Structure 1
Amino acid sequence: MKSAERKRSIIVGLFVLIGIIILLAGIFVIGGQQNRFGGAIKISAIFDNAAGLKKGGNVWFSGVKVGTIREVNFTPSSQVEIIMVINDESKEYIRKDAAAVISSEGFIGNKMIVIEGGSSDIPFIENGDQLRAKEGNDTEAMMATLQVNNENLVAITNDVKALSERVRRGEGTIGAFFTDSLMAENMKAMMVNLNQAAVNSRKVSENLAAFSAKLNTEGGLAGDLLTDTTVFASLKSSVAQLEDITQNANTLTENLNSASSQLNNNDNALGLLLNDEATAEQVKQTMDNLEASTEKLNRNMEALQHNFLFRGFFKKEAKRLEKEERDSIAASNAN
């Protein structure tokens, strides 16, 4: 009887001991996670919105857990002060200019703080330092934005559905294009014309390129006009001379017009002779009389040559003229 009670007591004692050991192990584990028993420093950060942060939340730096959230307190300005405990092993990697960002463990996980950044020339954090707060990606804001985007996507889908329905019924230009065979033929003809216009444009471009190449060819007239200053100066001089000739031609034309107007005027002798028939008849009669008088004078001169009184004079004159002709011939032969 006594041995049975003693055995029962031993078993109960073992269970109690195992329970105490498990309890102590749990306390040490939890305390180790929250830096209750190891060396640690306290730092803080002030946020406008805690976004669901709680005591005991994790603090991460470069993907490694470096501490926990010790307290979440309000400030007099209605902001939220987050006090964090950072273990001694990690404080030597975090700089004073690092930033604290509220994040989530997964898409919808617990809230935590992630420490980012820091310059290599800035000292490490110390107990009581305050990190600057940085706005992170709020899951609720992301969900709200996603909801708005979904609503916009639904509206766009409805619009596309309505548009496709109108196109299917042949409404509008696009609908008529897909359903009206005549419009399709017109579109096809227009595309052919556009292709032809493109071909013509290419030919024009090629012709322009060939023409410009000819202009740049040395020795050609166009090339000389564009590059040779001597040819250009000569052309400029020719143009100036042509302008002078044109001016002279204009002056000559004016003079001819003036002379023609004078010929048509009966106030001068030439105009009277050309325009007045009576005057022309008188001039003709005068010319006839002069011709008759000349003929009579020739007969009188011939009669004088045969008169004995003037015969010697005319012979001497004939000899003199003959001698002058011989002297002229001799001088020509000598030269």
Structure 2
Amino acid sequence: MEKTSLEKLRLGIFVIMGTVLLVIGAYVIGNRQNMFGNTFTIHAIFKNVNGLQEGNNVRYSGIGVGTVKDIVMENDSTIDVVMIIQDKMLAHIKKDAIATIGSDGLVGSMIINIVPGDGSGSKIESGDQIVSYSRIGAEDMMSTLNVTSENAALLTADLLKVTAALTKGKGTLGRLLNDTLMAKNLEQTILNLKLVSAGANKTLEEVNSFVKEANSENSVVGVLLRDSLAGLEIKQIIHSLESASDRMQNLTVNLDSVVSGISEGKGTLNYLANDTILVQRLEATMINIEEGTARFNENMEALKHNFLTRGYFKKMAKEEQKKAKKEQKNN
């Protein structure tokens, strides 16, 4: 009988201890799952949750602050993740925070990491939605690596073809690598281009110096550019030159017409040049005039010595001497 009571006592103690351990375990598990205590909910929209499940942890700046309560598929490209967050985090999480999906270690379960924003947002409230950022999954990374590997293989093959062509001297680069004469010609061409460039620079410097001199107030070009009166005078000079040129042209035409008339036997000059009888008459007339003049001079000398007119000529000589003396005095 005593043995049975002892067994019952042991069984009762075992049951009590088991119950206590069960309650403690439930409390610990529930506390970790935020089943007890004050909490609030927030939302984040993702296109791909990458294997995230209900009950996964939520961390804020690396600190566990809650769990995933629900995952709702709204449409084919929108997934709403509902998170339960400890009420004490209301003072720290702001509306500009960003939610991302990551993994707990290399092979751990998926978690949600909440990263603080720039701090300019207001404090979050229960039911608010924060911005989400979807990272590239491992499968997407592997697919991208496969495409990259294929592209690298194709690029390597093309590079091998190009290298082989260059080695054989095919194409422009191949000829440049293998043809020394062409390389020298190219070098000479580059040298000529440098010389041409130097000449062009020198020409530009001379043009700049000419422009500077033209801009100077003391230069002729500068005066013509700035002084409107000088410009008008230059225009008048050019107009006068044009008028003189027109008059010279008219004079030339007239001279041509006169010369043409003489050549054709017209006019007085042609008559004098071609009529020999008239010339002989003119010569005879000039001889007669000279002889008449000589005789007139002889008659005048005879009159000067004649006693009737000698007094008159002496008087005329005295008057001429008086006039000459007066002119000398005046001078």
- TM norm structure 1: 0.74
Change (3 A) 1:262 1:215: closer
Contact kept in structure 1, 2:92 and 2:123, CA below 8 Å: no
Q: Tell me by how many angstroms 1:35 deviates.
A: 1.3
For residue 258 of structure 2, what is the amino acid of its counterpart? Q
Counterparts of 1:304-323 in structure 2, within 5 Å, are 304-305=299-300, 315=310, 318-319=313-314, 321-323=316-318
Q: Tell me by how many angstroms 1:25 deviates.
A: 5.9
The alignment's C-alpha RMSD in Å is 4.2
What SS does structure 2 have at the residue aligned with 1:67? Answer: strand
For residue 257 of structure 1, what is the amino acid of its counterpart? V
1:134 aligned residue (116, 120, 132): 132
Moved more, 265-274 or 18-27: 18-27
Deviation string for 1:160-216 (max 9, x for gaps)?
222122111111000110011221221222232233334434443454455556556
Match of 1:325 in 2: 320
Match of 2:92 in 1: 93
Counterparts of 1:179-198 in structure 2, within 5 Å, are 179-198=178-197
For residue 134 of structure 1, what is the amino acid of its counterpart? S
- Unpaired segments ≥5 residues, structure 1: 1-5
For residue 285 of structure 1, what is the amino acid of its counterpart? Q
Match of 1:247 in 2: 243
Contact kept in structure 2, 1:58 and 1:112, CA below 8 Å: yes
Contact kept in structure 1, 2:224 and 2:231, CA below 8 Å: no
Contact kept in structure 2, 1:46 and 1:82, CA below 8 Å: yes
Change (3 A) 1:284 1:87: same
Aligned residues: 319
Change (3 A) 1:332 1:19: farther
Contact kept in structure 2, 1:47 and 1:133, CA below 8 Å: no
Deviation string for 1:261-295 (max 9, x for gaps)?
21331332234435xx2x2x234213212112213
Give me the identity figure in percent: 26
CA–CA separation in structure 2 for the residues paired with 1:134 and 1:150? 31
- Unpaired segments ≥5 residues, structure 2: 1-5
Matched, 1:298 2:293: yes
Contact kept in structure 2, 1:69 and 1:82, CA below 8 Å: yes
Contact kept in structure 2, 1:305 and 1:314, CA below 8 Å: no
Matched, 1:288 2:283: yes
Matched, 1:122 2:122: yes
What SS does structure 1 have at the residue aligned with 2:174? Answer: helix
Match of 1:3 in 2: none
Contact kept in structure 2, 1:67 and 1:87, CA below 8 Å: yes
What SS does structure 1 have at the residue aligned with 2:35? Answer: coil
CA–CA separation in structure 2 for the residues paired with 1:313 and 1:111? 168
